[in-house]
Structure 1
Amino acid sequence: MATARQTDPRLQIMTETIEGLIPRATPAALSVAVTEALPGLGERSNTWTGSPAGHAERLFTALYGRPAAGDPLSPLAQAEDAKRARDIVGEMAALQRGHADLTAAPWYPARPGDLVHVHYEAGGLSDAFGETYLITAGTDGFLSMQLLCHTLSATEDAEGMVGCFAVDDDPDPLMELWFEAGPHRLTIVRDGRPVHSGGA
């Protein structure tokens, strides 16, 4: 299923060409790896791994500039679109692609001290607003994500929306936020530097 960023046919052709390197492969199960072997250092090497769509987007950006964004969809929204279209393959592919994009990110997994900001567009009864969460060590060996602050007024938060992604002792505290809000709405800061700028 094409995402909003893949509406340009040139980007779609690049993605399909990369996916076609392995005939009859399942696109959602594919990844692209680029490895730099460092001479004289034995087994050490530098590696970049990503999805075929991510690799195609990098090539497209280098050649033509950033693809038209349209309205990006979260992995969950992409899966729901496919489900409404009765496309079980597209639904599973969207979920698998979302998981692969998170777990293949060079900054993954989250670490204590990471700051996670999520931006929400204006809609319904509220203006645009943001929430900032802090990743901390949990009490039982996993990680927690605590709400630090938000920019939604108390009157706008009548339904208690703020802080809904806070978790305690979760093996992967970013998973729900990544799938539901979407990577395009997230900014993740580690050691004072952005490591993921979804809105950029």
Structure 2
Amino acid sequence: MTHAPAQLDTITQSLTSLIPGGVRANMQIVVTEQQPQGPSHTWTGTVDGLALRLSTALTDPGAAAGSPLARAEDAKRRRDLAGEIGALMDGGAQLEAAPWYPARPGDIVHITYGAVGPYPAYGETYVIEAADAEPFLSMRLLHHSPNLPVEILATTGCYAVDEDTDPLMEPWFEAGAEHITLVRDGAVIPHQAPGR
């Protein structure tokens, strides 16, 4: 896969320009989701880390080409509303048809990411845990590949959540099934349901 350094530079400059005269090395990006009837979720990272994540999603066909979100974005670019909705609905149905669905406490989840330009392929391992209140679950980062560049380190743990009814929905929709491995009770559960 070829890397698009101009694209990465454009994204980095666009994010940095959000604060005129700002110093990129001193900036942090905070994304917060406040649910109307539930807890908030927050992700914090660097400009370089977010730029790399965006560039990867745009240039690495292996990272998300088969993901429901990538298919929906492709349909959106084509101005195909039915295709966009269909991709998201199909993604939800595929998630619910996964042989390990729903996730449960004790599940180990490994997510892989393809190499992008000078950045190596790597992986992250999470554990699903019971949250304080049912039916919520938490997904906590256990480990990631060692010796990662600082730009990638800034994005590790991005799928960790404290309380969620379906903690694997976001990685499923963004990364796609082919990049997720789930281990339950010591056994790897296949990506596809039998007969698919």
Output the TM-score relative to the length of structure 1. Answer: 0.60
- Structure 1's 191 and 159: CA in aligned 2 closer, same or farther, altered over 3 A? closer
Of 134, 155, 158, 1:164 maps to 158
Q: Distance in 2 between matches of 1:159 and 1:117?
A: 16
Structure 2 residue aligned with 1:195: 189
State the Cα distance separating 1:105 from its structure 2 match.
1.8
Where does structure 2 lack aligned partners over 5 or more consecutive residues? 1-60
2:94 partner amino acid:
D
Query: Does the CA-based 8 Å contact 2:126-2:143 persist in structure 1?
Result: yes
- Structure 1's 158 and 97: CA in aligned 2 closer, same or farther, altered over 3 A? closer
Structure 1 residue aligned with 2:120: 127
Where does structure 1 lack aligned partners over 5 or more consecutive residues? 1-69
Structure 2 residue aligned with 1:29: none
Question: Whose RCO is larger (CA < 8 A, sep 6+)?
Answer: 2
Q: Distance in 2 between matches of 1:107 and 1:159?
A: 29
1:77-101 per-residue CA deviation (whole Å, 9 max, x = no partner) reads 0000000000001000100000000
Q: Distance in 1 between matches of 2:118 and 2:163?
A: 32
Structure 1 residue aligned with 2:50: none
> Aligned with 2:183: secondary structure?
strand
Q: Distance in 1 between matches of 2:78 and 2:153?
A: 31
Of 179, 182, 189, 2:176 maps to 182
> Aligned with 1:157: secondary structure?
helix
Structure 2 residue aligned with 1:85: 78
- Is 2:100 aligned against 1:107? yes
Aligned ranges for residues 1-200 of structure 1 at < 5 Å? 72-141=65-134, 142-157=136-151, 160-197=154-191
State the Cα distance separating 1:128 from its structure 2 match.
0.3
Structure 2 residue aligned with 1:31: none
**Rg bigger for which structure?**
1
Output the TM-score relative to the length of structure 2. Answer: 0.61
More helix by share: 2
Q: Distance in 1 between matches of 2:190 and 2:162?
A: 23
Query: Does the CA-based 8 Å contact 1:122-1:129 persist in structure 2?
Result: yes
> Aligned with 1:172: secondary structure?
coil
Q: Distance in 2 between matches of 1:132 and 1:179?
A: 17
Q: Distance in 2 between matches of 1:157 and 1:138?
A: 30
> Aligned with 1:79: secondary structure?
helix
- Structure 1's 154 and 120: CA in aligned 2 closer, same or farther, altered over 3 A? closer
> Aligned with 2:76: secondary structure?
helix
Residues matched between the structures, number: 129
State the Cα distance separating 1:159 from its structure 2 match.
6.3
Quote the sequence identity (%). Answer: 54
> Aligned with 2:110: secondary structure?
strand
